[in-house]
Structure 1
């Protein structure tokens, strides 16, 4: 289990239409980090509604959830952290041209045209909660790119905290946008 770097208690239960944005600085020798939406507040939760792990070293995105201290339904997707795009074209074609705006999924061509290194840099992720799941975006000043969509098994209204684990130096921003 990774060491907890940051825990924030959600000010109210998460509902459809809510968004949480988190920015932080990745360590210079980062191998991985994760953002976890836990159904508990403690540092070693037994229940996590959504585990978003970025395995930088292996260019892999890992998603799953935890019940009774057991990871369930791990899904690994090849992901190039350096340009914010899926390597798997089938997945890329199905989701890269969609984003959420006022609870609606619409077509867009908003993707990043340039590469950048995450190591030692700041990351910005947005988690948008909708009826059909959690949409995750890589956010930049010049736009945002849909990374993934995850359908949690447990009701995301049960989420009590957002936690950051792994190779992150510091969190620079955490914002909640409630419907």
Structure 2
């Protein structure tokens, strides 16, 4: 099983205060990468509840999205074939829509945003406490948060 390469605990804010609406993550993959994932976890010290799991299977050019509740992965997951991760770098943006409890994912390019996916979450997005990056990631070059 891959290890956590990077973890960012989100700042604690009052529920009525501004909240994170966008994450931008740029990084490099290792030589001959197989997979990497980005988890939006409900507890930075325990991965039993994951609001959103975004996994890229590079050789298969497949993205797998699902969630984990009480230690069990959801049986229903979304799997999408996309031939976009054929480089050593990744540049992703995750936009959180609190009203609809969805996360929209874009690949950032010089030409603009390329839509990847929209995922309906089981958990309320306010439950996300940390973001973890796993797998064949050599280095996270940028991790940014935007607030409303």
* TM-score (normalizing by structure 1): 0.74
- Partners of 2:32 and 2:64 in 1: how far apart? 19
1:151 is matched with which residue?
A: 120
2:80 is matched with which residue?
A: 77
The total of aligned residue pairs comes to 142
**Could you tell me how far 1:141 is from its partner in structure 2?**
2.2
* TM-score (normalizing by structure 2): 0.89
- Partners of 2:117 and 2:129 in 1: how far apart? 22
Q: Which runs of 5+ in 2 are unaligned?
A: none
Alignment of 1:89-108 (within 5 A): none
- Partners of 1:169 and 1:124 in 2: how far apart? 14
- Of 5, 21, 24, the match for 1:21: 24
**Could you tell me how far 1:57 is from its partner in structure 2?**
1.1
- After superposition, what is the alpha-carbon deviation per residue over 1:78-98, rounded to whole angstroms, capped at 9, x for unaligned? 11124xxxxxxxxxxxxxxxx
- Partners of 2:27 and 2:112 in 1: how far apart? 18
- Indicate the structure (1 or 2) with the bigger Cα radius of gyration: 1
Alignment of 1:11-160 (within 5 A): 11-12=11-12, 18-42=21-45, 44-72=46-74, 73-82=76-85, 117-118=86-87, 121-130=88-97, 131-132=99-100, 133-160=102-129
Q: Which runs of 5+ in 1 are unaligned?
A: 83-116
Say whether the 8 Å CA contact 1:33–1:167 is kept in structure 2.
yes
- Partners of 1:170 and 1:17 in 2: how far apart? 23
- Partners of 2:12 and 2:58 in 1: how far apart? 32
**Could you tell me how far 1:140 is from its partner in structure 2?**
1.6
Per residue, is there more strand in 1 or in 2?
A: 2
Say whether the 8 Å CA contact 1:127–1:136 is kept in structure 2.
yes
- Partners of 1:17 and 1:176 in 2: how far apart? 6
- After superposition, what is the alpha-carbon deviation per residue over 1:29-57, rounded to whole angstroms, capped at 9, x for unaligned? 10110010000102x51110000001111
